[in-house]
Chain A
């Protein structure tokens, strides 16, 4: 496909894909900050895998591959898994990664069992379930974009309204609890919003790559700012940029008549590139800036030492 930049504004399908991916990146990037700061970065991976039994159950119940039904089923089991992980964290001394790992492998195992059962019943529509594992951005329609916009606005609106409450319960949960804030509820809320973002993205970029859309923009943003508000906004921006740019690149670079570059993969690589660049180049926190400061300081101190000796 040879595309000119103008095509992205005029072509209906292209516009949907690019806009949808950008919106997705915006929502996932913003919400990812919470999981990264909570040391639960891989919650996206967990939720995405844990959605499988719900997807299968919804499919078994409805018998059709109705996207909305599947998403609701998957979302519910993803939410259940992440709340269970929070419960394990609260009621045992196990750490974040273990809580996520346990729920994730159990739910995914059950999902595989269900998937096999569906496979044995020989239902033709079964193949469609696998689309969720790898994602199909090319299938994004204007309807999807509208849905992303509405749900995304809901999620981001909640974050904006409860910014101060979420910040406090994230930074110092004990202090927040003494002040009377419902820390468990606030944590569950931000987790539920993350699940929502993951479910939105599942269809588009797929299970594995969705994990990255929560993490990479947040990591990139953290390097440039020293306030949570700044981090949330920047991560949203980085997410939107990698979503939009990734989709546009994948469309523009796809060989003519070829299978096409998978949008999700290009998006993730874009987001990762942004994170790596930020880690290296950000002023202040960046690795290179750190080296520079260190070298200057050493040179100066050596000079002073030499001067003192004389």
Chain B
């Protein structure tokens, strides 16, 4: 049994969207929105190590494990540096991931200078190829990987929603109430690292970074209620995936590019709606006389 191409591609896009949005909403609230981008670059040395261990295959389990490990290393090291209190979180992240990426670039050039290790394929895994990569039980590989991570994320966020919300808004209170905010955020960031690796192997880093940030940002422009925001963000990811795919087919353009573009348009729309609402309120509310 083979699934239709369209279904595989759109299904993959939606799975990536949802798997990323679930933890992404909390990243956006925690000033860590750019973590996805950082991990997707920092994964390089892990991928190279996996490639080396597996004897030269990019889409192998060791490469995946290596990428996840360097993703976790990024999270851990930048948290360590930020906790010293001498560097802000964003700068700590910006210190760690380029260094890891640089180490990866050097490893490639030293060991595979003459082999064609296609870095582009790593950075821009292409969603259009997902139907050609069989996975398990007749399902495409991307579905197994990303869908699996999505399920784990849904269980995590669904089960610990209240705790995550508390430790995001008020870590001090969360600690005094007996939840460990550090443990929670460690788990959250671990899931982000694993999700990013699973997803960018399937659809490329661009789409992963976009799905981690943009739908949640759009939703938070429209509401300040966390539950509503999550629902809106999931909806935005779904509609952008479907619409983006249809438009990309019609224009014969890159699916990744168009989906990211649609996400951007949704954000602009939400921004405009927010601005219009503020203006309307002003027009209606001004005191007379």
Contact = CB atoms under 8 A, between A and B. Distances in A.
A and B touch in the complex (CB under 8 A): yes
B98 interface: yes
B230 to A, nearest CB: 16
Given A97-B33, A112-B124, A266 B106 contact: yes
Given A101-B209, A105-B206, A272-B99, A259 B109 contact: yes
B34 A268 contact: no
A120 B106 CA distance: 31
Given A260-B113, A264-B105, A272-B95, 10 more contacts: A42-B34, A92-B274, A97-B34, A101-B33, A109-B256, A216-B98, A222-B87, A258-B113, A266-B102, A272-B99
Contacts of B133: none
A112 B263 CA distance: 14
B256 A112 contact: yes
A45 B33 contact: no
Nearest to A107: B264
B148 to A, nearest CB: 24
Interface residues of A, number: 62
Nearest to A117: B253
B198 to A, nearest CB: 18
A266 B84 CA distance: 26
A102 interface: yes
Interface in A271-306: 272, 275, 279, 285, 287
Given A92-B221, A259-B113, A269 B32 contact: no
Nearest to B91: A41
Given A41-B90, A102-B264, A112-B206, A212 B32 contact: no
B77 to A, nearest CB: 10
Q: Is the interface of A mostly helix, strand, loop or mixed?
A: helix
Contact of A269 (B36, B99, B119): B99
A110 interface: yes
A147 interface: no
Nearest to B210: A105
A218 B91 CA distance: 9
A130 interface: yes
B195 to A, nearest CB: 16
B102 A106 contact: no
A229 to B, nearest CB: 20
A104 interface: yes
Interface of A: 36, 39-42, 44-45, 88, 91-92, 94-98, 100-102, 104-117, 120, 130, 134, 208-209, 211-212, 214-216, 218-219, 222-223, 255, 258-262, 264-266, 268-269, 272, 275, 279, 285, 287
Contact of A113 (B34, B90, B254): B254
25 contacts: A39-B88, A41-B93, A42-B90, A92-B221, A101-B36, A101-B212, A105-B214, A107-B264, A109-B207, A109-B258, A110-B261, A112-B254, A114-B257, A116-B253, A116-B257, A117-B254, A212-B94, A219-B95, A259-B109, A259-B113, A261-B110, A264-B105, A269-B102, A272-B95, A279-B86
Contact of A215 (B28, B91, B120, B217): B91
A101 B106 contact: no
B101 A208 contact: yes
B14 interface: no
Contacts of B119: 134
Which of A41, A106, A117, A223 has most B Cβ within 10 Å? A106
Interface in B239-289: 252-254, 256-261, 263-264, 267, 271, 274-275
